[in-house]
Amino acid sequence: MIKANTPGKSDGEQAFWIDGQKIGHWKPGSPVGTWSKDKFVTSGPLNKDPKPFEGFDFRLVDSVKLNQIALQWYISERVAEGGKTIKNIVYFDDVVVAKEYIGPIVQE
């Protein structure tokens, strides 16, 4: 889920579900954590000075709308060099883009 911010405010949101279970939701005030380089960590040794998440500032003007979804997989050079294979494969399936939550696919 992506909720664009109000121009001039950091009130944008982002959330993810896997098999109908929400695994993350970042919005103004939640979660509580610490920025560590490019990550907002909510636990562990890098979470040294936790503060509420400030929200996203995706756009400057109201006319900018969501127009693309990109599924990406990132693996760091350190992890790639320590891997046991020369291939790093990830599969995405049953990805849904919708204007409202529709729930997981039910297998009958």
Instruction: Name residue, tokens 């109201």.
Output: 62
- Report which residue type is found at 39: K
Stated as kind and residue range, the H or E segment containing 80 is helix 77-82
Distance CA(86)–CA(95), nearest Å, equals 27
- Give the pLDDT confidence of 90-99 residue by residue, as tens digits: 888 888 888 8
Q: What is the pLDDT of residues 12-61, one digit of tens each?
A: 999 988 878 888 999 999 999 999 998 899 999 999 999 999 999 999 99
Q: What is the pTM of this model?
A: 0.73
- Listed by start position, the domains of the chain span 2-64
